[in-house]
Amino acid sequence: MGILRIGRFKPYESGLILGITVLAFLLMLMVQTAVGAEEGVKPYPNAPISFTELVDQVANEVVNISTTTVIKRGPGPSQFGPHKQFRDFFGDDFFERFFGQMPKERRQRSLGSGVVIDPKKGYILTNNHVVANAEEINVRLVDGKEYKAEVVGRDPKTDLALIKTKKSLDVKSGAPLGDSDTVKVGEWVMAIGNPFGLERTVTVGILSAKGRVIGAGPYDDFLQTDAAINPGNSGGPLFNMKGEVIGINTAIVATGQGIGFAIPINIAKELLPQLEKGKVIRGWLGVSIQEVTEDIAKSFKLEKAEGALVAEVIEDSPAEKSGLERGDIVISFDGKNVASPNELQRAVANTPPNKRVKAEVMRDGKTRTLTVKVGAMPDEIPETAKAVTTGLGLTVQTLTPELAEQFDWPRDEKGVLITDVESGSAGAEAGLRRGDLVKEINLQVVEDTKQYKRLVGKAKAGESLLLFVKRGSRTFYITLTLESE
């Protein structure tokens, strides 16, 4: 093995070399710093050296919103008084002499943010949760001017609201609304709001992700940013570097830092005409849908795990009238591909009621095209899609493939699933459990909650019903006496 000899260490030579090296490095650093100062070298391409111009451009369009909500106090012990057991023993008169009566209602004040979109009309866009149930709404501009405001329209499902001041706003112009579809991950963004009551707080960051589903509602499609967003920022705008609003800040991850969410402004732009009218009316099909997983795709012999699987079709709904069936996989709607249940939900919701559209579905390995006349979403979902509680003390639901998977039943199993058993009820005393499957009532087959309600409804209080129940691999008959409701 060859050995490379290294010259003897010489302190004076090494010191001289080190000194020359350090001097050269410092000179080079000074030159680079001077050039950078002259040419405005940026830490990242396209990153602004300063955000001051942008802040000056958009700050006047952001408002602080303060609300007052009246909270009614229910019956119960005084906030400072002893527990109910002691009050029951000594009596209310005794304790009211020492503790006094609690007020029946209290006023709760909250802070939020908003963005001016039409100063002449007094229109301000904000979050629904900022103004929901508010008795009083006050708006304050950057210059300190205050205005009384009222709700024009709210949409809890997207957490958006449009409010209006009683006078025109003394603002030069409304904030321009950008295009959240074209904004790219990694772009710089700016949030301005009222976090913790600290007015006109400016934070910057980048767009971290798009299309986030966080479980906030049926139409989740959030922008994610690492710009600091805190309580009080709700309803405030998320700007791009052009000064355009690309989102309305709405949520944070409580356990995480640098994770905030904003509603894409394109969703707000779609809803604004309806918010101005005071109510959002969405399209409706009347189906329960679920994700197409890899396993489900294999079971249905699909090439890709895409689409929306129909788990239930509500009776007399637009879906049923159009020929949609349980087990269909919707792959396109109104000419647009459907990759997930969320995409189908948003597409249907954005379709005007009574419009006829084409829907492509996979059924029995073949593609079929159906014509669907979209309905208007009802205020309450029809009973067949809900859990049903009866005088037997049982809460039941139609067994869907999704519920079957959750409760370890075969996907093609049919019946009515017991999801809850009331303590002390006839069902509980008979030993029925959550997860049991009702197959028959009085020797008649039961496959959905409509049949279940019809058969139970025939019986009068005190009469007995014969249930055929399946539990795991075991089946058995059981008799229950109907209680008076």
Q: Would you kindly state where each structural domain of the chain is located, as residue ranges?
A: 59-98+108-165, 188-276, 283-376, 387-481
- The count of residues in the chain is 485
CA distance linking residue 459 with residue 466, whole number of Å: 11
The model carries a pTM of: 0.65
Measured in degrees and rounded to the nearest 5, phi and psi for residue 261 equal -130, 145
CA distance linking residue 99 with residue 86, whole number of Å: 13
State the residue for tokens 């809900």. 386
Burial class (CB in 10 A: 0-12, 13-18, 19+), 120: exposed
CA distance linking residue 460 with residue 446, whole number of Å: 19
Looking at domain 59-98+108-165, its CATH class is mainly beta
- Token readout for 230 is 């805190």
Instruction: Return the pLDDT at 8.
Output: 32
Contacts of residue 186, defined as CB under 8 A and 6 or more positions apart, other chains included, come to 206, 207
CA distance linking residue 201 with residue 469, whole number of Å: 61
Q: What is the mean pLDDT of each run of 10 residues along the chain (485 residues)?
A: 32 44 49 46 63 92 91 50 50 57 70 95 96 93 94 93 95 95 95 89 95 78 92 93 95 75 95 94 90 84 90 89 93 94 90 95 92 89 59 86 84 89 84 93 90 88 88 89 71
Q: What angle do CA 301, 302, 308 make, to 5 degrees?
A: 120
Instruction: Return the pLDDT at 255.
Output: 66
Instruction: Return the pLDDT at 257.
Output: 72
374: helix, strand or coil: coil
Instruction: Return the pLDDT at 91.
Output: 55
Same fold across 59-98+108-165 and 188-276: yes
State the residue for tokens 């112009």. 173
CB count in 10 Å sphere of residue 194: 26
CA distance linking residue 56 with residue 339, whole number of Å: 42
Which is the CATH superfamily of the domain at 387-481? PDZ domain (2.30.42.10)
57 residue type, one letter? Q
Question: Would you please indicate which residues are annotated as catalytic (active-site) residues?
Answer: 129, 159, 234
Helix (H) or strand (E) holding 54: helix 52-58
- Token readout for 309 is 């699987």
| 188-276, CATH topology level | Thrombin, subunit H (2.40.10)
- 283-376 — its CATH code? 2.30.42.10
- Token readout for 416 is 């009515």
